[in-house]
Structure 1
Amino acid sequence: MINYVASLIVLVLLVSCDDGASLQKYYVDNQDNKNFISLDIPASVLSLKDNVSPEAEEALASLRKMNVLAFKVNEENMTEYKAEEQKVKAILKNKKFKDLMTIKDKGRNIILKYEGDPESIDEVVVYASDKEQGFALVRVLGDNMEPAKIMKLANSIADVDSDGFKQLENLIKK
């Protein structure tokens, strides 16, 4: 009887430690997958033009890095694309991710979610999908990111110096 109870306790502990698929595990599991492009981008790659608001500058200063995982769809991997898309959607349904914004435009869907306290965000997740292009999953990690300042930064995105992004785009095309 004691062995039965001990086994049951161990089983409960093991099950409680696994909260299902996590975003971090998904990144790690797929970073070497041939269908994915994986990038870790330090916040230092980004720079703002001189005429942006102080809030946008503070938001940029609160960023540490971005993890990008992109699935480029083609005729040969359409089945895998659909399966991976469902996995990501299931992960993002986790209650720890709170909705920030959803955009649907010309066949493209962009979902922004965050993790952390509404006054001090730890992580912003951007999921962008397009059935012809594939999907990208971006984790924006930072320290005490404030939603209002992050939104100012998003509004200033046209003012971001895109030289760093152009270099990254060239890497992806190769």
Structure 2
Amino acid sequence: MAFEVVHEEFLPWLPSAPSRVVDIGAGSGRDATALAARGHRVVAVEPTPELRRIGQRLHADAAIDWIDDTLPSLTGLRGPFDFMLLSAVWMHLDEQERVDAMRRLAGLVAPGGCVALSLRHGPVPAGRRMFAVSAAETMALAERFGLSTVHRSDEGPDCLSREGVSWSALVLRAERHAAPGTGR
């Protein structure tokens, strides 16, 4: 499915001018490529070597800097970023990992920049590591680290029509002053 269809709710929050953006959990690169096509300087973070290689091969002509890194630490990622996309990754983190990851995201986003997250709700497929995570919990966690919720939608349909699966979309904005707990 096209980036504009999957992430329609995030489109108003994308920077209008070429900016520094990151796609965390980039998979095979659909979203990173769409962001690069809009003129952004894109970093694609993908911890799975097979997916990263596919993305690099499929999108070799796109201006994307691919890196091997993972949440919650993102030790190889250097900010700041004007826009951060986390599509279908947050539910793979347990409670403590989500705290650590939100702290790190708050330290990587530029003042006034946005973090866009899609949250999956519903049954966990066999053999997958996933945790129940709510929009309310994520918003409260973001607030602890100086990120304000500027957009929330709940119960979005599953684009693959999986039984019992729905999505929430959140856009968090970094306050223009230092975020608590981030050292900025």
* TM bracket (short chain): under 0.3
Question: What TM-score, normalized by structure 1, do the two folds share?
Answer: 0.27
CA radius of gyration, larger in: 1
Task: Give the TM-score, by structure 2 length.
Answer: 0.26
Bigger RCO (CA 8 Å, 6+ sep)? 1
